[in-house]
Amino acid sequence: MPTLRDLICIHDEPSFLMEAHDALSAAIAQRAGFKALWASSLSISSSLGYRDANEASWSEVADVVERMARAANIPILVDADSGFGNFNNARLLAAHLHRRGASGVCIEDKLFPKMNSFIGDHHPLADIEEFCGRLKAMKDAVPDPRFVLVARIEALIAGYSQDEALARAHAYAGAGADAILIHSRKSDPMEILAFARSWQNHLPVVIVPTKYYRTPVAEYRAAHISAVIWANHNMRAAIAAMRNVCNRIIREEGIAGIEPDVAPLEELFELMAYDELAAAETHYLPKT
């Protein structure tokens, strides 16, 4: 099984990380064939009933990550927002997430509390040197060489230039980041591809094409993008499916019509490995 480091830092081809936000979505993504997961702050917050504005505490996020790691046996890159504070909060978080099953952590160069990158125009950036201190402290807190530290640049989201994004990328590489996530809210990939051209793969590049979703993967391959994160699509699929089924049950006053459109109970039992429990019972329970 490839490690997160293999997928992001070693493989030549782009890797794909699928969003998950709980044990069930993690298990489903693994069954579908994804090799790694993105523990999205937007999706985890939503599933807990919070906004993606650091309303969920870091320990609530860590609880979810542990459940995901137990349910899916593939690496998880955790979206740790801006690290929940200064270098000290960030290093504490990195160590906890590592202990609880994360294979890597991504922090973005914003302030606490952060706001989701697609909401509004107020995204104050962290001071570069201060953010480098957060990255260094996280590296030092997790001496495991397999653990991947991704530095996420929000300069383009905040309206700054390519030069600002590049200066930040070089500083974060110097501080020990293993990869750079360059984020954009544009509906085409031009600014991301321009960044990748100038950056010349000094470190692997990770992208989140939520807004420029029409771009074919061939363009990322040609630009030598290392990893693509499908950042919120399990959550959004669940919202649409649940909305649809709720509306239909009300409208049709019953569940006969929707049965073919919902997952069979057998699939749920299989996802949660009920057969393992049955086998364990024959092994551990007294024979009657």
184 touches ligand SPV by CB under 6 A: no
Nearer to Mg ion by Cβ, of 116 and 272: the residue is 116
Closest CB 77 distance from Mg ion, rounded Å: 11
Nearer to ligand SPV by Cβ, of 20 and 132: the residue is 20
Position of minimal CB gap to Mg ion: 41
CA 150 and chain centroid, separation: 11
208 touches ligand SPV by CB under 6 A: yes
* Helical segments of the chain, H only: 4-5, 23-32, 41-48, 58-71, 87-99, 128-141, 162-174, 190-199, 217-222, 233-252, 265-271, 274-284
Q: Is 12 a catalytic residue?
A: no
Binding range to Mg ion, per CB under 5 A, among 28-36, 41-49, 57-65, 169-177: 41-49
Largest Cα–Cα distance of the chain, in whole Å?
Answer: 74
Nearer to ligand SPV by Cβ, of 29 and 208: the residue is 208
* Among residues 22, 66, 79, 191, the one that binds ligand SPV under rule CB under 6 A: 79
Q: Name the residue among 202, 203, 100 with its Cα closest to residue 149.
A: 203
79 touches Mg ion by CB under 5 A: yes
Nearer to ligand SPV by Cβ, of 44 and 135: the residue is 44
Stated as kind and residue range, the H or E segment containing 76 is strand 76-79
Position of minimal CB gap to ligand SPV: 40
By three-state DSSP, how is residue 134 classified?
helix
From the CB of residue 67, how many other CB atoms can be counted at a distance below 10 Å?
Answer: 16
Residue 102 interacts, among Mg ion, ligand SPV, none and using kind-specific CB cut-offs from 5 to 8 Å, with none
Nearer to ligand SPV by Cβ, of 79 and 109: the residue is 79
Number of residues that bind ligand SPV (CB under 6 A): 12
Closest CB 56 distance from ligand SPV, rounded Å: 11
- Buried b / exposed e along 204-236 (16+ C-beta atoms within 10 A): bbbbbbbebeebeeeebeebbbbbbbbbbbbbe
Binding range to ligand SPV, per CB under 6 A, among 7-15, 20-28, 111-119, 271-279: 111-119
CA 253 and chain centroid, separation: 38
Binding range to Mg ion, per CB under 5 A, among 36-44, 59-67, 139-147, 199-207: 36-44
Binding range to ligand SPV, per CB under 6 A, among 36-44, 87-95, 132-140, 187-195: 36-44
Q: Which residue is catalytic, options 52, 79, 81, 178?
A: 52
Angle between helices 23-32 and 58-71 (to 10 degrees): 40
**Separation of alpha carbons 91 and 223, rounded Å:** 33
* Among residues 3, 25, 210, 234, the one that binds ligand SPV under rule CB under 6 A: 210
- Site residues (vs Mg ion, CB under 5 A): 41, 79
- Site residues (vs ligand SPV, CB under 6 A): 40-42, 52, 79, 116-118, 208, 210, 231-232
Residues carrying an active site annotation: 52
